[in-house]
A and B are shown apart, each in its own frame.
Chain A
Amino acid sequence: MISYIGYTGKEVPVNGNANVSIALEESATGLNEVVVTALGITRAEKKIGYATQKMDVEVIEEINAPNVGNLFTGQVAGLTVSNPTGLFQKPSFSLRGKSPLIVIDGIAVETDFYDVSANNIANINVLKGTTASALYGSRGRNGAILITTKNAKVDGLEISVSHNTMVSAGFTVFPETQSEYGNGSNGKYEFWDGKDGGISDGDMIWGPKFEPGVMVSQWNSPILDNVSGETIPWWGDVYGTQYDDKSRYSRVPTPWEYHDNLKDFMGTGYISSTDFSISNKSEKGSFRLSGNYSDQKDRVPNSGLKTGGLTFKSTTKLSNSLTLDSKLSYNKVYSPNYPRHGYGPKNHMYTILIWMGDDVNGKELKEHMYIPGQEGYRQANYNYAWYNNVYFAANELNQKYDADLINAQMLLKYDIAEGLTLQARGSAVMQDIFEDRQSPKTYLNYGDAREGDYKTWNSKRLTIDYDILTSYAKSLTEDISFDINAGASTFYRKYQQEYNSTDGLVVPFVYSLNNTSGNIAGTNYYEERATNSVYATLGIDLYDAVFLTAAARNDWSSTLPKENRSYFYPSVSLSTVVSNYVTMPKALDYLKLYGSWAKVSSDLNPYSISSYYTNSGVFGGNIKLQYPNGLVNSNIEPESSNSFEIGLSSAFLQNRIGLDLTYYNVVDTNQIIDLPISNTSGFENRKVNGNEYTTNGFEVVLNAKPIVMDDFSWNVTANWSRQVKKITEIYDNNSTYNNLKLNDRADSYYATVWQKSGNGDLILGTNGMPIRDSYPQLLGHNDPSWTLGLQNSFKYKKLTVNIGIDGVWGGLMRSLTVEKMWWGGKHPYSTEFRDAEYAAGQPVYVPKGVHVTSGELVQDVNGEVISDTREYAQNTTAVSWQSWSQQYPYRAAVTYKENKKFANIFDRSFFKLRTLSFKYDFTELANINGVQNLDVTFSGYNLLAWKKADIIDPDFGNDNNLQDPSTRYLGIGINVKF
């Protein structure tokens, strides 16, 4: 029995021969697996001298997440994905702490993944370090996610059709609120005009308790005519009507009851996708035509997203030596209306979750979006100071997004001679987006006019990439071979945008610039950039055990000053398969060691080396110009990063266990920073080259096959990573950079906190309220301490079960939701002392803390204590519970450690059962003629969460702008191949 890792074992009868020559066949999986690297060059895995990791695309095909990118979560050590919860809120990626380049079929693209069909993805490989990406120039300096789309795989004609629908099934994280008290303040409320013209009807949810028999005048209470005794059904205020006369009309009190408004508002959502493909492969070449259509309906009413596309890919052998690969794809991303997010009255969560008491009858808000007789002119609502009727805002304001994307690509490859090829490639990506916003009259958005509005945005983006590449590979002897790639490329990008806006609408519901009552305002923008590059790589293979690769690239960028526009990226990597020349313990099948070093640079945005006045609006027909706050630097140099990485790749116990370890160190130097300067200089910052950041990271990928049996197998992959970035040099040897001090973590979390005594007691003022510290304090760090991904795959006969779990540990996260819930009175804990205080008619809550009885604290400008003569006494003063709740957990940072109940800064740690799928292969069971494959999948996405933070979903990435509830999806899919 002769076996060798990466090769299929072979039994050869020896029969006494002294010399046996055996040719082992390469196994389908294993070490000679090729890896797609930069510029689409493929390399055997063993020759790679830097960390790369493949994603499991099976999961991506089986599960229909809101965005393909969501499914990258937890798949790759070092790749962190934030998954916002709202419709059309795209995931964001951080690879070793930086934002990676996305490459599809060899071409760097700008994509939010809504225009990428999951079913077209053949494989995804992540190049983690800078070495791998040195060949993409500055765009690839942060690593790259390389996506290769599917080609015809099998000879002959193949047709496949698949469909998958996922439906919302409850919430994985749903924000809990108090459900005992409604709108108002200090326990009182009465509606009149919704802006404090009644009793505290302008703001806050600190009103009366929901109790049987409580009757209150509300926004939907009927109007009583004191003179005629008649009652008139009414919704909203009475502004501008005959009823706006309190001496004659009043609102008849109606029952004060709780409504489960958020749950009622959030409907059922679904994501449904259909794909087909036709492919053919023959000696002359191959083609694949695929199409997809996906329809997402959000849980927020009147909002959805439709995406679809057609892709044609072909490979044609023009002659024996000449091959033409071409690709043409068209994608559309269309939303007739998608929800507004962010902290403000456009966002449904801002209204329902934070600022609308549950006394408001949501059903009636929905049925009566306008005041009787004022359809189109005035919304009916419970508030007219700060908030919109949430159904009016969701249904009557519409914003459209309509994007067309065309991607055309051609690659001509010429095999000139044995080992020598020449290829030329061109690609163009065109994106055209139309967006508009139709705002009805009285729609309220702070700072905007309330007379109705229509805005349009037209934007266009064109990117063109050309490159030529020549490759030569030769074996000098049996043991020594080399390959050379040399090429040149040019990248051009153009972006333009036009914007137009009305100033109020004449007639309601007519959303046209022609319907403006004032002047139309418009702006446009145009931007171009280009980068020219040359590059080369050299690979040397020695004794099939040592592999050396060196690469060099030079870029010339249009955005930098002429003298600094040229920059050079060298890189070198070495890998060696130790197990090929050193006898290893029996359990160790394979051991590869590798190391690499690379330097990458980057440039600026266009037009950043001179200062320009910008238009800041108009006053009375006079244009206003303003000068930027930042000083430019016409001598700015490209920034650079030096990275160094070592690692090992190993396999044990007949490949049952694989372990990859990587350590990396990245030193970012000569960074292009906006150095803060005293704004008394007339500028807030200036562009300089400076600061140094050092990142140290460690990544582990463990793959195990604990059970391998004929009928049952279990495969598990665990990814673990940790990285810390510190500021290790500050410009001009300054002692601070913003809040950061030398050797601070770059993600240090400084925040305004409450003053504490030397013992850490909270200091309270004479009024019993806490006092803010004038110096920001370091609370911890933002980024997680480590991240983990766990992919399990079980196979039992025809059934495959995939389970994806991931999470992060440590790091801090501020919660705006929690802060605002305390302020507004929706926080679940905010009910605690309300009844007692209202019953006593005076404050009963005595906060824990101390008063300064004498002495004072003197600090220098660095916050260092010069003298502290303070004496303290325990606080005994009771304060209004509402005032306290609106101050302590809202107006400064309170960590979990400081106070569990009032915390607004949380530990980020969470783990999620992100994906689960059961796939059953029905091909044999169904046994339909012509059907080569038939499988059915039950799947789930975002199923369960364990977290340390209260109320919010940390997987969102942050909570600075509120979050939609985190939806759980369950679905079914079918996949047929003919």
Chain B
Amino acid sequence: MKKIAILFSLTVLMVLTGCQDLTDLNENPNNVSQTHPQLLLTNIASNAFSVDGTSSLYATRILVQTDGENNNQYYSWDRASFDNYNMLGEVTKMMQEAERIESNEYIALAKFFRAYYFYNLTLTFGDVPYSEALMGEIEEKYLPKYDTQKELFVGILKELAEANDLLEGNITIIAGDIIYGGETGKWQKLVNSFRLKVLMTLSKKEGDADLNIKSAFANIFNNQPIMESNEDNGQLVFLDEEGSRYSEFNSSSYGSGMYMSSTFIERLQDRQDPRLFIYSGQTKNAKEAGLAIDDFTAYEGGDPLAPYAEVNDKAAAGDVSKVNLRYTTDPTTEPHNLMGYWELQFILSEASVRGWITTNAKEHYENGVKSSFSFYNDFAKNYESYVEPADADAYLLGTKVAFDNALSTEVKLELILTQKYLTSFLQSGWRSYFDHLRTGYPAFSQLPGATPPTRWMYPNSEYLNNTENVSAAIERQFGAGNDKIREIPWWLN
């Protein structure tokens, strides 16, 4: 009996000691709930500065697809996603962590990334939530209202100005910075260059008194530090390490059904542009015939307007070039530019032509071309010899390239935007498409009666989860139920 009593007492004791402190048990040993903003910066920068896919290359008549109908190529897209808000959520956390440790440089960068993502969002859709957005956690705001596109642009420019102010004279080394190695001054140059880009996007709003674009542009150009060379490029340099390799390295989609568009190839051929050899591979037939890399006739594209089965036939006949293999076989290929020095120079050239600033448009234009050549000279392994400084000089004398300040405004704009376009091969996302919508340059071939879509429909998730606000935004901009891809948003009016 005694033994039994002992045995039972022991068991009961075991059960009782088994009752643990339940609160302690639920403390997560794996992850933190507070952190230094540098760890968020790396994540945000690697997202914002990575290659933004190939969709824009189909829409801008640079690529064609032959194994399926590509909605971007045939301008038959419908909805786009609000995924950028997920990254903006990360930016919001970086802002909060930066405010917690009172670090102005991370606050400034958070403002820059907010501006960057909101800029892309509003160009994609029109009105989007801004003033009430991203307050889910701190203010329990789950259904933000939509702000007008104009309010967005005002806000974007204001935040960029604030970022500039915070960076002014700031010499703290930014940890976790994979873009500029922590150099605050370079970030400040990028912020100001990006301000110029945003202002140029609003070129159709030159007369808007609230925005005062022209003087704002001149003011920044004359008084603030901006990018001065390729050294200042807003670019991500890839490394041959897990997680740091070039975004398109080993990408299978380049291996089938993806070809160069004839219109893009022809533009490069017409200008005897050696960047053709860097962007494109030779056609199968040219390769079999043993043509040299710098033989312009070795390249050919597929018609972006033809039914894709027809282009496929041409490809099968060996007459269509694929994307240069270096984009998928080299783990570091080339840096990707959120904004490069050449882009700034083309913007300045355009501003000069528009009379926003009083500089030499030709000089900016030629700087843009030269710095693009220089970029490929630095990074396009085995193709350096085609893009030496002398090649750029010769290229700038070409009939369809040479710039003369005496030319008409429209001709000059066409030259500038065409050169800007020719630098957008797997660089800078949808920039060229939006430039085309704004200026019409360069012209994209179209089927009779077709026009390029001017926006995307709002995502279905907003229809379901933020019904009233999205309805109000649609009605306000385009009329009830008119969430359509060819409605004209404010910036294009």
Give chain A's interface residues, CB within 8 Å of chain B.
Answer: 184-186, 188, 192, 194-200, 202-204, 246-247, 319, 322, 384-386, 412, 414, 422, 424, 426, 444, 446-447, 449-450, 464, 466-468, 488-490, 492, 501, 503, 518-519, 521, 524-530, 532, 556-559, 562, 565, 606-607, 609-627, 629, 631, 676-684, 686, 735-736, 738-739, 765, 767, 769, 771-772, 774-776, 823, 843, 858-862, 866-867, 879-880, 882-883, 886-887
By a CB distance below 8 angstroms, the chain B residues around A194 are 255
State the CA gap A860–B464 with chains docked (Å).
12
- A202 and B464 contact, Cβ closer than 8 Å, known pairs A503-B242, A684-B86: no
State the CA gap A684–B465 with chains docked (Å).
10
Question: Per a CB cutoff under 8 Å, which of A203, A412, A446, A613 touches B7?
Answer: A412
Measured CB to CB, the nearest residue on chain B to A606 is B26
Quick check: A624 and B43 within 8 Å, CB to CB?
Answer: yes
- A678 and B28 contact, Cβ closer than 8 Å, known pairs A424-B12, A862-B463: no
- From A414, A446, A559, A613, residue with most partner B Cβ within 10 Å: A613
Question: Per a CB cutoff under 8 Å, which of A200, A501, A612 touches B28?
Answer: A612
Quick check: B32 and A612 within 8 Å, CB to CB?
Answer: yes
Quick check: A677 and B22 within 8 Å, CB to CB?
Answer: no
Q: What is the CB-to-nearest-CB distance from B330 to chain A, in angstroms, rounded to a whole number?
A: 13
Chain B contributes a number of interface residues (CB within 8 A of A) equal to 103
Q: Which of B35-60 contact A (CB under 8 A)?
A: 35, 38-40, 42-43, 46
B19: interface (CB < 8 Å): yes
B219: interface (CB < 8 Å): no
Quick check: A866 and B481 within 8 Å, CB to CB?
Answer: yes
State the CA gap A25–B243 with chains docked (Å).
75
- A196 and B257 contact, Cβ closer than 8 Å, known pairs A519-B241, A617-B243: yes
B15: interface (CB < 8 Å): yes
By a CB distance below 8 angstroms, the chain A residues around B290 are 246-247
State the CA gap A186–B66 with chains docked (Å).
11
Binds A, one of B187-195, B309-317, B409-417: B309-317
Quick check: B25 and A412 within 8 Å, CB to CB?
Answer: no
- From A184, A611, A735, residue with most partner B Cβ within 10 Å: A611
By a CB distance below 8 angstroms, the chain B residues around A774 are 78-79, 457, 460
By a CB distance below 8 angstroms, the chain A residues around B144 are 678, 680-681
By a CB distance below 8 angstroms, the chain A residues around B69 are 769, 883, 886-887
Measured CB to CB, the nearest residue on chain B to A199 is B316
By a CB distance below 8 angstroms, the chain A residues around B27 are 607
State the CA gap A616–B47 with chains docked (Å).
11
State the CA gap A200–B462 with chains docked (Å).
41
- A619 and B42 contact, Cβ closer than 8 Å, known pairs A558-B25, A613-B32, A861-B471: yes
B405: interface (CB < 8 Å): no
By a CB distance below 8 angstroms, the chain B residues around A565 are 22
Contact indicator per residue, chain B 476-493, by CB within 8 Å of chain A (1) or not (0): 000011110000000000
State the CA gap A403–B114 with chains docked (Å).
48
Q: What is the CB-to-nearest-CB distance from A124 to chain B, in angstroms, rounded to a whole number?
A: 29
Contact indicator per residue, chain B 1-38, by CB within 8 Å of chain A (1) or not (0): 00010011001101100111011011111111101001
State the CA gap A769–B250 with chains docked (Å).
32
State the CA gap A415–B125 with chains docked (Å).
76
Quick check: B68 and A532 within 8 Å, CB to CB?
Answer: no
Quick check: A558 and B20 within 8 Å, CB to CB?
Answer: yes
By a CB distance below 8 angstroms, the chain A residues around B82 are 679-680
By a CB distance below 8 angstroms, the chain A residues around B457 are 774
By a CB distance below 8 angstroms, the chain A residues around B137 are 611, 631, 682-683
Q: Enumerate 14 A-B pairs (CB-CB under 8 Å) in ascending A order.
A: A185-B316, A186-B313, A197-B322, A203-B255, A385-B252, A524-B30, A526-B29, A532-B22, A619-B46, A629-B89, A680-B466, A843-B309, A882-B309, A883-B309
By a CB distance below 8 angstroms, the chain B residues around A501 are 242
Quick check: A488 and B15 within 8 Å, CB to CB?
Answer: yes
B111: interface (CB < 8 Å): no
B176: interface (CB < 8 Å): yes
- A412 and B11 contact, Cβ closer than 8 Å, known pairs A203-B255, A610-B28, A620-B244: yes
Measured CB to CB, the nearest residue on chain B to A245 is B290
State the CA gap A87–B252 with chains docked (Å).
28
Give chain B's interface residues, CB within 8 Å of chain A.
Answer: 4, 7-8, 11-12, 14-15, 18-20, 22-23, 25-33, 35, 38-40, 42-43, 46, 66-69, 74, 76, 78-79, 82-83, 85-86, 88-90, 92-93, 128-129, 133-137, 141-144, 176, 178, 239-244, 250, 252, 254-258, 284, 287-290, 307-309, 312-313, 315-318, 322, 457, 460-467, 469-471, 474, 480-483
- A765 and B480 contact, Cβ closer than 8 Å, known pairs A188-B316, A558-B25: no
- A676 and B178 contact, Cβ closer than 8 Å, known pairs A186-B316, A613-B33: no
Quick check: B40 and A625 within 8 Å, CB to CB?
Answer: yes
State the CA gap A736–B461 with chains docked (Å).
11
Measured CB to CB, the nearest residue on chain B to A865 is B481
State the CA gap A196–B66 with chains docked (Å).
11
Question: Per a CB cutoff under 8 Å, which of B26, B33, B85, B242 touches A518?
Answer: B242
- From A557, A626, A738, residue with most partner B Cβ within 10 Å: A626
Quick check: B28 and A624 within 8 Å, CB to CB?
Answer: no
- A526 and B461 contact, Cβ closer than 8 Å, known pairs A623-B39, A681-B141, A861-B474: no
Q: What is the CB-to-nearest-CB distance from A314 to chain B, in angstroms, rounded to a whole number?
A: 17
By a CB distance below 8 angstroms, the chain B residues around A446 are 252
Q: What is the CB-to-nearest-CB distance from B357 to chain A, in angstroms, rounded to a whole number?
A: 36
By a CB distance below 8 angstroms, the chain A residues around B313 are 186, 188
- From B136, B318, B469, residue with most partner A Cβ within 10 Å: B136
- A678 and B252 contact, Cβ closer than 8 Å, known pairs A492-B20, A858-B481: no
Quick check: A860 and B481 within 8 Å, CB to CB?
Answer: yes
State the CA gap A539–B53 with chains docked (Å).
67
Quick check: B89 and A627 within 8 Å, CB to CB?
Answer: yes
State the CA gap A616–B242 with chains docked (Å).
12
State the CA gap A618–B312 with chains docked (Å).
40
Closest 10 CB pairs of A and B: A385-B255, A202-B256, A681-B136, A203-B256, A195-B255, A682-B89, A612-B31, A678-B466, A624-B43, A424-B11
State the CA gap A467–B240 with chains docked (Å).
56
By a CB distance below 8 angstroms, the chain B residues around A680 are 82, 85, 128-129, 133-134, 144, 462, 466
Q: What is the CB-to-nearest-CB distance from B39 to chain A, in angstroms, rounded to a whole number?
A: 4
Quick check: B136 and A185 within 8 Å, CB to CB?
Answer: no
Measured CB to CB, the nearest residue on chain B to A531 is B22
State the CA gap A492–B22 with chains docked (Å).
10
Question: Per a CB cutoff under 8 Å, which of B4, B38, B178, B318 touches A322?
Answer: B4
Q: What is the CB-to-nearest-CB distance from B315 to chain A, in angstroms, rounded to a whole number?
A: 7
By a CB distance below 8 angstroms, the chain B residues around A738 are 464
Quick check: A624 and B461 within 8 Å, CB to CB?
Answer: no
Q: What is the CB-to-nearest-CB distance from B372 to chain A, in angstroms, rounded to a whole number?
A: 25
Measured CB to CB, the nearest residue on chain B to A426 is B14
By a CB distance below 8 angstroms, the chain A residues around B89 are 627, 629, 679, 682-683
By a CB distance below 8 angstroms, the chain B residues around A686 are 136, 142
Measured CB to CB, the nearest residue on chain B to A739 is B464
Measured CB to CB, the nearest residue on chain A to B250 is A450
Question: Per a CB cutoff under 8 Å, which of A186, A197, A492, A521 touches B284?
Answer: A197
Quick check: A618 and B243 within 8 Å, CB to CB?
Answer: yes
- From A385, A527, A679, residue with most partner B Cβ within 10 Å: A679
Quick check: B90 and A626 within 8 Å, CB to CB?
Answer: yes
- A386 and B255 contact, Cβ closer than 8 Å, known pairs A532-B22, A858-B482, A862-B463: yes
Quick check: B464 and A186 within 8 Å, CB to CB?
Answer: no
State the CA gap A247–B291 with chains docked (Å).
10
By a CB distance below 8 angstroms, the chain B residues around A677 are 136, 142-143, 465-466
State the CA gap A424–B4 with chains docked (Å).
12
By a CB distance below 8 angstroms, the chain B residues around A609 are 26
State the CA gap A199–B318 with chains docked (Å).
7
Measured CB to CB, the nearest residue on chain B to A503 is B242
State the CA gap A197–B129 with chains docked (Å).
47
State the CA gap A945–B252 with chains docked (Å).
38
Measured CB to CB, the nearest residue on chain B to A185 is B312
By a CB distance below 8 angstroms, the chain B residues around A886 are 67-69
By a CB distance below 8 angstroms, the chain B residues around A879 are 307
Question: Per a CB cutoff under 8 Å, which of B31, B76, B307 touches A880?
Answer: B307
